Amino acid sequence: MSTFIESEERTALRAAVAALGKRHGRDHDREALWAEAAKLGYLGVNLPEEYGGGGGGMAELSIVLEELGAAGCPLLMMVVSPAICGTVIARFGTEEQRQAWLPGLADGTRTMAFGITEPDAGSNSHRITTTARRTEGGWVLSGRKVFVSGVDIADATLIVGRTEDARTGKLKPCLFIVPRDAPGFGRSQIDMELHAQEKQFELVLDDVELPESALVGEEDAGLLQLFAGLNPERIMTAAFAIGMGRYALARAVDYAKDRQVWKAPIGAHQAIAHPLAQAHIELELARLMMQKASALYDAGDDLGAGEAANMAKYAAGEACVKAVDQSVHTLGGNGLTREYGLASLVTAARVARIAPVSREMILNFVSHQSLGLPKSY
């Protein structure tokens, strides 16, 4: 990686995390890797130094996730705990919330999940029906969430609900910290075809009583606070996808160098070599957009980062799917065996196309916001 794109510090971080990932590998123990990454300061590299973090930004955190993914051991909860929840609390939380959560999120001793998706709302945050109503002592939260990662291992979940605007009567999004053991906070695991160490859950919030201090940020800030978390989510999903694509591509390249048919390595044939080269190019291009999105976000340009983060997530998702598909195809029958460990990535690669926002919704965003075309909805 050229220092024209990344500083010496970031290049060193990339190399160090790559070495960590190589030690743990594809068959890693998630808890052991999480603990070591935390001890080395990688999990909280984006969080403020005064709360135990590394004082960096999304540029540094995305490097960590990408390199772990490239080694075959991505930590999905990095997308959620330090990137979304840590960023939101660092930017908008009270001093009490920062003291309570950021040091633990930085050193890995505490984890936070993030709940926004609902059964009937999908990608439309304006249709969220989870509501919070004021009480004398704080709030009562009611609603449902689906596809919430890692609730079973999280100390709390940052829930996106909606409160009524006293002036207009309209509902507006707000963020609440809900402890795992809060009465009325129920969870059930969703049976997924996707094999991942982090499980997916459906949540039911049945009149969950929360103190006033559970609200993160200002009640009137609404979408500003929400998108402060969603832009990092898209950047980190891009990092997740790029890392996975790189892992698959590296396995295919190694195989194409060694596998011989008719006295020549199969990688010498353009029908094998060119698609792999194309996959490499597309992954590199996706990384460039991810780096642009990180730079804009870390510079405080939320609007510019929103466009770039969506584009990065789209490009990385497409590049990942193509890289994995071509890698499996390069190995032929071996690409479907457990020994080579690529077949399971066929399903996993599609996650970056679907979550946290579908590629079609990103195309909607770009057509409306970037190109100025009229909305279809």
The Cα angle at residue 97 between residues 164 and 199, in degrees rounded to 5: 80
CA distance linking residue 16 with residue 67, whole number of Å: 9
Tracing tokens 């053991």 back to the chain, one arrives at 181
pLDDT score, position 122? 61
Query: What are the tokens at 363?
Result: 């195309």
Q: Do residues 348 and 192 touch, judged by C-beta distance below 8 A?
A: no
Bridge-based pairing of strands 131-134 and 138-149 is antiparallel
pLDDT score, position 125? 64
What mean pLDDT is reported for the chain? 93
Task: Tell me the pLDDT tens digit for each residue of 220-232.
Answer: 666 777 778 899 9
Query: What are the tokens at 174?
Result: 């707000």
- Please give the residue that has the higher pLDDT: either 334 or 172: 334
Mean pLDDT confidence for 276-302: 97
Task: Tell me the pLDDT tens digit for each residue of 19-70.
Answer: 999 999 988 899 999 999 999 999 999 999 999 999 999 999 999 999 999 9
Q: What is the end-to-end Cα distance of the chain in Å, rounded?
A: 42
Task: Tell me the pLDDT tens digit for each residue of 315-374.
Answer: 999 999 999 999 999 999 999 999 999 999 999 999 999 999 999 999 999 999 999 999
Q: Do residues 38 and 107 touch, judged by C-beta distance below 8 A?
A: yes
| 161 Cα distance to chain centroid | 20
What domains appear along the chain, each with residue ranges and CATH number?
Answer: 8-110 (1.10.540.10), 113-216 (2.40.110.10), 223-370 (1.20.140.10)
pLDDT score, position 3? 46
Q: Do residues 165 and 123 touch, judged by C-beta distance below 8 A?
A: no
Q: Which phi and psi angles does 176 have, rounded to 5°?
A: -130, 140
Q: Which helix (H) or strand (E) holds 188?
A: strand 185-189
Task: Tell me the pLDDT tens digit for each residue of 113-133.
Answer: 999 999 876 656 667 889 999
Mean pLDDT confidence for 283-304: 96
Q: Do residues 140 and 188 touch, judged by C-beta distance below 8 A?
A: no
pLDDT score, position 196? 79
Mean pLDDT confidence for 178-194: 94
Q: Do residues 175 and 216 touch, judged by C-beta distance below 8 A?
A: yes
Determine the 3-state secondary structure of 303 from DSSP: helix
CA distance linking residue 101 with residue 97, whole number of Å: 6
Q: Is the dihedral of CA 48, 50, 53, 55 positive or negative?
A: positive
| 80 Cα distance to chain centroid | 6
pLDDT score, position 193? 86
Report the candidate in 377, 373, 305 with the shortest Cα–Cα distance to residue 122.
377
Residue 2: band (very low, low, confident or very high) from pLDDT cuts 50, 70, 90 = very low
Residues facing 172 on adjacent strands: 163
The Cα angle at residue 241 between residues 10 and 93, in degrees rounded to 5: 65
Tracing tokens 């979550």 back to the chain, one arrives at 355
Task: Tell me the pLDDT tens digit for each residue of 101-114.
Answer: 999 999 999 999 99
pLDDT score, position 1? 40
- The type of residue at 137 is G
Q: Do residues 249 and 283 touch, judged by C-beta distance below 8 A?
A: yes
Q: Do residues 207 and 139 touch, judged by C-beta distance below 8 A?
A: no
- Provide the percentage of residues in the chain whose pLDDT is more than 70: 95
Q: C-alpha dihedral over 93, 9, 63, 2, to 10 degrees?
A: 140
Tracing tokens 């029906």 back to the chain, one arrives at 129
For 81, counting Cβ atoms within 10 Å of its Cβ (0-12 exposed, 13-18 middle, 19+ buried), the class is: buried
Least confident of 170-174, 235-239, 288-292: 170-174
Tracing tokens 């079973």 back to the chain, one arrives at 152
pLDDT score, position 5? 73
Q: Do residues 89 and 98 touch, judged by C-beta distance below 8 A?
A: yes
- Provide the percentage of residues in the chain whose pLDDT is more than 90: 82
Q: Which helix (H) or strand (E) holds 209?
A: strand 200-211
Tracing tokens 């990932």 back to the chain, one arrives at 21
pLDDT surpasses 90 at 217: no
pLDDT score, position 110? 97
Tally the residues of the chain.
377
CA distance linking residue 133 with residue 296, whole number of Å: 36
